Chain A
Amino acid sequence: MKWASLVLSAALLAYPLLLPDPFYLDVGLSFLLVALSASAWNIVGGYAGQVSVGHGMFFGVGAYAPLLVFNLWGAPPVAGVPLGIIISLILAVGVGTPTFRLQGHYFSMATIAVAELIRILVGTWPLVGAAIGLQGPAVGRAWWDLTFRSELPYYYLFLAVLALLLLITQQVERSRFGYYLRAIKSGERAARSLGVPVQRTKLYALMLSAVFTSLAGSLYAIKTGFVDPESGFGLLISVQMVIIAALGGAGTLYGPLVGALVLIPLQTATNDWLGGGGTGLTYILYGGIIVLLARFEPGGLHELWYAVAPKLKRRLQRKERPHAA
C-alpha cells in the first residue's frame, strides 16, 4: 500500500508535465474534481454506509457561494468558500438530525428530496441568478481572484485539496471515529450495544463529508467561473459521486480514485465519439455501471482485485516453478 501511494502521488504530480496538451489537462482536472467529490462522499456513503443520493446539495452550495459573494459585493470568489462550508454544515445538520434516528433508506430518500428541492428553489430565486445561474469575474482583477489563463495552477490546487482529504481519511481510518463508522455500516444494533453513539457518529461523518464536497464545488466554480442549477445541484452530480465510489470500492481509501480513473476516460471517450448530442448518454453509462456492479461485484473494483489477485499470483507461481526445477 505504501508503494501504491508513492506511485500514485508521483503519477498525479507528473501528469500535466508529461501530457501538457490542454485536452489532457482538462481530462486531468475532471478526474481530480470527480475524485475529490467522490472521496468526500465516501466518508459518509462508503465508510459509514449511509448512502446519500443528494450530495449535489453540498457541491452546489459550495459552487454558488464564491460566485454569489462576487456578484453581490464584488468580493474575490475565494472569500465565498467559508460561506459555502458553513451553509453546507447547516444543511448537513438539518438533514442528518431527523433522518439518522432511523435506519435504512430514509436517509437516502431524504437526501434526494432535499437536493431536488434546493435545485428547484435556486432555479427560481433571482438573487442567485435563477435559471441562468451566476458568473465569476470575466478577467482577474488581481491574483486573489484565482483566474489563471493556464489550467495548470488549478490542477495543482485541486490536487492539493484531494491530497489533504486523503490524508484526513487515512487518519480517520485508523482512529476510533473510523472504526465506529465501519461498525455502524456493519450493524447499528451491535454497534450500539458496544457503546457506539450511532446517531452522533453518523452526523459527524456527514458534516465532514459535506465540508469537502462543498470545497469541491467551490473549486469547480472558481475554475469554471460559472454555475447554474444543473451544473451545481443537478441529480447527475449526486449520482456521479455514488457511482464513482461504488465502482472503485466504497469505504476504501483509494476506491473513489480508481472509480474516477475508470469513469472519466470512459465518459470523455463516449462524449468524444458521439459529440454534443450524447449528453443523455451519461445516464445510460451510469445505469449500465449500476447493473454490472449489482450483478457481478457489489464491492466494486477493489473487491474484484482482492478476489482475482491471489488467483493471478498462484497462476504466476505455477508457471515459474518449472523454470526453477
Chain B
Amino acid sequence: MLLEATNISKAFGDFQAVAGADLRVEEGEIVGLIGPNGAGKSTFFNCLAGDLTPTTGRVSFAGAELTHVSAEAHARAGIGRTFQVPATFEDMTVFENVMVGAFLRHSRRDDARDRTLSVLDMTGLQQFADQPARRLGTPGRKRLEIARVLATEPRLMLLDEALAGLTPAEIQQAIALVRAIHASGVTLVIVEHIMEVIMTLAVRVVVFNHGRVIARGKPEEVVRDQAVIEAYLGRRHRADAR
C-alpha cells in the first residue's frame, strides 16, 4: 500500500468538513476523488498533502507515518500536489519555477537544471522557459504547476482540479500529459469536477458527500450508484418516484 489514510476527520470550529474518511491507494493506480461542491474533497486532499493537520485519523505513506509532519516533509517523502487556484511563483520565470522543484532532489545547480530541462520537455513548456510565470494563461499555469511537482520526482501526485477551466482541446492535451506521467511510474490521486476526465483517467473512484465517503468503485459503476446520483442531483422528486 502506497498511501493509507484512515478515519480522517477535520473540523473548523463547529464545522465538520471531513468526517471519518478513508482512502487507500496502491502503487501505480489512478484514483479519482469526486463529489459535489463543499463535499470536503479539498479539505481531505489538503490533509493528505500535509497542508492541514487532521483533527483525528492517520496518514501513512510508503510505510512512514505522515499525520503530523509539515507540508515540506510530505514533499520530501514523495507526495507532490498542485493547487486548485494555481500558485505559480509569478515573478520567477517558467524555468526558475521548475528549478525550485528540481532542487528538492538535486542540490547542485547543474543537476537541477538537467532535471528541469527534461521536465520542461515532457510538459511541453520549453518554449516558455524564459517567460515570467505571470505571463502564462490559466492552462499554462496549470501545466507549470504539474511540471514543478514533477521536478520533485514524486511517487504520488495529488492533482486538485488541475484540468478545470481548460477548453476541450486543452483538456485532451492535459489528459495525454497525465497519462504520460502515470506511464513514467507516478501514482495519481485526482480531484476533478469534469466527469469526462474522471471517466477516462481514473481506474477507481471515491465519492465524497458531506465529508464522508458515500461510494467507491469503478467509474462506470459509481455513476449509476443511487447515493451518488442523489448527492449530485438531490433526492428524486416524489412524483417521479411513484
Please give the residue numbers on chain A whose beta carbons come within 8 Å of chain B beta carbons, in ascending order. Answer: 174-176, 179-180, 182-183, 185-187, 189-198
Within 8 A of A (CB), among B132-173: 148-149, 151-152
**Of A176, A180, A193, which contacts B80 at CB under 8 A?**
A193
CB-based contact A176/B103 at 8 Å: yes
Chain A binder among B2-10, B83-91, B122-130, B219-227: B83-91
B96 pairs with A192, CB closer than 8 A = no
Q: Are A187 and B87 in contact (CB under 8 A)?
A: yes
Residues of B within 8 A of A194 (CB): 75, 80, 100-101, 104, 148-149, 151-152
B99 on the A face (CB < 8 A): yes
Contact among B76, B80, B92 with A186 in the assembled complex (CB-CB below 8 Å): B92
- Say whether, besides A176-B107, A196-B72, A182 and B91 are in contact (CB < 8 Å): yes
Chain A residues near B49 (CB-CB < 8 A): 193
> Interface residues, chain B, CB within 8 Å of chain A?
49, 51, 70-72, 74-76, 80-81, 83, 87-92, 96, 99-101, 103-104, 107, 109, 112, 148-149, 151-152
The residue in chain B whose Cβ has the minimal distance to the Cβ of A299 is B91
**Chain B neighbourhood of A179, CB < 8 A:** 96, 99-100, 103
Interface of A is mostly: helix
Known: A179-B99, A190-B83, A190-B88. 10 other contacts (CB 8 A): A180-B100, A185-B91, A191-B100, A192-B51, A192-B75, A193-B71, A193-B80, A193-B83, A194-B80, A195-B72
Tell me which of A175, A182, A189 contacts B92 (CB under 8 A): A182
B51, B90, B107, B112: the one contacting A193 at CB < 8 Å is B51
B76 touches A195 (CB 8 A): yes
The complex places the Cα of A305 from the Cα of B128 at a distance, in Å, of 23
Closest A-chain residue to B133, C-beta based? Answer: A186
A192: nearest residue on chain B (CB-CB)? B71
When the two chains form their complex, are residues B109 and A175 in contact, meaning their CB atoms are under 8 A apart?
yes
Chain B residues within an 8 Å CB radius of A195: 72, 75-76, 101, 104, 152
| Known contacts A193-B51, A194-B104; is-contact A183 B92 (Cβ 8 Å) | yes
Subset of 19 A-B contacts with CB under 8 Å: A175-B109, A176-B112, A179-B96, A182-B89, A182-B91, A183-B89, A183-B100, A186-B91, A186-B92, A192-B70, A193-B49, A193-B51, A193-B71, A193-B72, A193-B75, A194-B75, A194-B100, A194-B101, A194-B149
Q: Report how far A192 CA is from B49 CA in the complex, Å.
A: 10
Task: Give the CA-CA distance A175 to B99 in the complex, in Å.
Answer: 10
Assess the A174–B109 pair: CB atoms within 8 A.
yes
Q: Given the complex, which residues of A lie within 8 Å of B75, measured CB to CB?
A: 192-195
The answer to whether B103 touches A182 (Cβ under 8 A) is: no
Interface pair A180/B109, CB less than 8 Å apart: no
The CA-CA distance from A182 to B103 in the complex, in Å, is: 13
CB distance from B162 to the nearest CB of A (A): 13
Q: For the complex, what is the distance from the CA of A35 to the CA of B104, rounded to whole Å?
A: 33
User: Closest A-chain residue to B75, C-beta based?
Assistant: A195
Q: Is the CB of A198 within 8 A of B72?
A: yes
- Determine if B90 and A186 form an interchain contact, defined as CB atoms under 8 angstroms apart: yes
A187 to B87, CA, bound (A): 7
Distance between B208 CB and nearest chain A CB, rounded to angstroms: 22
